[in-house]
Structure 1
């Protein structure tokens, strides 16, 4: 507690003042815990415990968070001469300036001997205040910009510095900072500069970030969640279950099952939440998890059995993760697919959006499609918007792309996008979905037909038989690796695909 209060003095966080009339001071203490939730030190943190009111206690609280934190930093990696490093800012929120008047009671047992009835008026943010994350981001952003960094035009948590032909990339996530560059001297200079401005914990090579385990080698980077996988298997008593080779049976078709036996909703939601977090590095379970997640409001025995099947698959493949090669040529393309007839409930299309290796998701389209053509067309339009967002983001790294290929396995959907004369098939489609046609005509994307057997997005739209599932899983870069003599050696990979894929199902 003394150490925590000394941080307040070093950072000039507060002033001891007379309590103002009609204001309610706040205070609280909390132990500091580690990544596993255990108390790592007998250190308390002074935390604001208050029901804040917008317009009185705070105005703006929004602070940008990195979109898929490792998504672009890892695969692009223009910093091939050095490994990615990580640092943590000690008491980060105590560095952010606040504009509102906030008063804090003196902590119990630490009152001033001369002025026990006075309160502290905050000059800087305090943990627990709603505006604290924004205040810290503003302070860090201001410091980096003054230090010569440029901010990403799309991703506001990305900062880049170019000096003498060398590049330094900094990605921030609240107080956690990932950085790396093409010059060791530039990386060391940045670490020293940050240590002079803030109290920092230099954690060395990036190995664990936001629950992801990271291995770096000369050939690339491998990220996985093997420890987390084993933990959830143990938590839900599935550690001794019979392994399965796929996350979902090909003949399984889940529906509401209103006549089925109800199961514990809390347990079911806990299983779904744990699996959703795991999809950060396991796109192979994305479709099955999101399909089961639809029934959290009223789970039945059939739904729980489907979720247990996913856990049994994880028992079979606990070490799988994503591989990012440092030597592969980088290109951008998209795959779009939709499973219109496969939805038994309302014919809304199951949809996957975003990018393989850096981001993916599986969801239903918001509107009911009247035909497979319409479903494919809408899905491709959503994929197009994501590709354009990625194109703008990658331009911050100095990467320029021309016409981006968007691969669709429906020739009819491609014809609708290319030929505006097909009124009979398109007059009922909402105007906003013709976004795809507009950008095709502008030359931003190129619609290309792909055979169904080569449609990588199939793994996100439907359950597959083992052979097809393993093939697509390998082509997406989901594989198993092992570390030998401090070098990443290939342990198992079914097939290889080089590049950056944008997917939409």
Structure 2
């Protein structure tokens, strides 16, 4: 093999070549490697690349065992390996599980210390003659349910706001009297606003909507005078990460799409659009931006939409589900959706890829 002769190399990487001057490492960024010195391997012999050792040797006619160089070429610490791993931390289900982990014990002590320092709550011992009543909902951390012979009482607690309802007026009056006797509370009457939700209560219906939140969102984005459209998404509309259009403003897109999830608390009609557009937070294009603005135009024309829970309807569990069957053009995954109701307004819905 003469000077400057090209050698076919399978794969990419570094190649160690034995020459008369000793061993030399050649970098290969393509499928060919240029050897500048005269090699010990005659040009008439066929050569092969042993990938383990990255060494060029003449191919032998016999099929006997060959020597491989198993010396590691690069080391990486476990710290760097763990840094690139997606670690999943599972929240303990009860105190017994949390007490087994030192990090959770440390976090609980820090939380208790902060509560005592700020005088947030007054910690008292549990009365020994009173049993612990398990009324906390397993699916919602702020929801408490208590069943009595006279009916059922439902309480939702968020920081210093309490919403309560039930099947008996006597139970609700008793609960309010006990809470006001124990804590400093103000009775605000029937619920009208709660965390951006607006509630309209009549004798035969309870209507939930987010008209004020939607209008504020449009004004913030300067789209309060936009022309409304009848649908949020076009029929069978497909979006992909690479669609050939130009790149768009990422910060504005995140601001718009990031406002949709909270609006889906009462607007299940935009659930699919919010789920679809949230997949393109990075490297978005003008087509994604145009689709997002169309959703906002649909919201402009449906500000009065919400969920109505009517009194006297038959309590029948009704569910709807559907899937687009590998509708994603990027990974061929399906998007499934469902909605459930008890004969009146929907109480559970989702759109999941």
Provide TM-score, normalisation by structure 2.
Answer: 0.61
Q: Deviations over 1:165-216 (max 9, x none)?
A: 2443222233322112344333222112111212213221111122110111
Structure 2 vs 1, CA of residues 213 and 296 (structure 1 numbering), >3 Å: closer, same or farther?
A: same
Aligned mates of 2:330, 2:257 — CA distance in 1: 20
* 1:231 corresponds to which of 213, 216, 222: 216
Q: Does the 8 Å CA contact 2:322/2:338 hold for their aligned counterparts? A: no
Structure 2 vs 1, CA of residues 185 and 245 (structure 1 numbering), >3 Å: closer, same or farther?
A: same
- Report whether the alignment pairs 1:202 with 2:187: yes
Matches within 5 A, 1:404-483: none
* 1:276 corresponds to which of 261, 264, 268: 261
- Report whether the alignment pairs 1:293 with 2:286: no
Unaligned stretches of 5+ residues in structure 1: 1-52, 62-97, 103-121, 128-134, 365-505
Matches within 5 A, 1:12-411: 54=103, 58-59=107-108, 99-100=112-113, 123=116, 151-152=135-136, 154-155=138-139, 157-162=143-148, 165-250=150-235, 252-257=237-242, 259-353=244-338, 355=340, 357-364=346-353
Aligned mates of 1:171, 1:240 — CA distance in 2: 37
Structure 2 vs 1, CA of residues 181 and 288 (structure 1 numbering), >3 Å: closer, same or farther?
A: closer
Q: Alpha carbon RMSD of aligned pairs, Å?
A: 3.1
SS at match of 2:298: helix
Deviation at 1:333, TM superposition (A): 4.0
Unaligned stretches of 5+ residues in structure 2: 1-101
Structure 2 vs 1, CA of residues 327 and 149 (structure 1 numbering), >3 Å: closer, same or farther?
A: farther
Structure 2 vs 1, CA of residues 358 and 55 (structure 1 numbering), >3 Å: closer, same or farther?
A: closer
Structure 2 vs 1, CA of residues 277 and 330 (structure 1 numbering), >3 Å: closer, same or farther?
A: same
Q: Deviations over 1:346-403 (max 9, x none)?
A: 2100022563512222121xxxxxxxxxxxxxxxxxxxxxxxxxxxxxxxxxxxxxxx
Deviation at 1:146, TM superposition (A): 5.5
Q: Does the 8 Å CA contact 2:327/2:333 hold for their aligned counterparts? A: no
Provide TM-score, normalisation by structure 1.
Answer: 0.44
- Structure 2 equivalent of residue 444 of structure 1: none
Deviation at 1:253, TM superposition (A): 1.8
Aligned mates of 2:138, 2:104 — CA distance in 1: 29
Deviation at 1:243, TM superposition (A): 0.9
Segment drifting more, 261-270 vs 177-186: 177-186
Q: What is the number of residues matched between the two proteins?
A: 244
Structure 2 vs 1, CA of residues 147 and 316 (structure 1 numbering), >3 Å: closer, same or farther?
A: farther
Q: Does the 8 Å CA contact 1:257/1:302 hold for their aligned counterparts? A: no
Structure 2 vs 1, CA of residues 175 and 240 (structure 1 numbering), >3 Å: closer, same or farther?
A: same
Aligned mates of 1:148, 1:60 — CA distance in 2: 22
Structure with bigger helix share is: 1
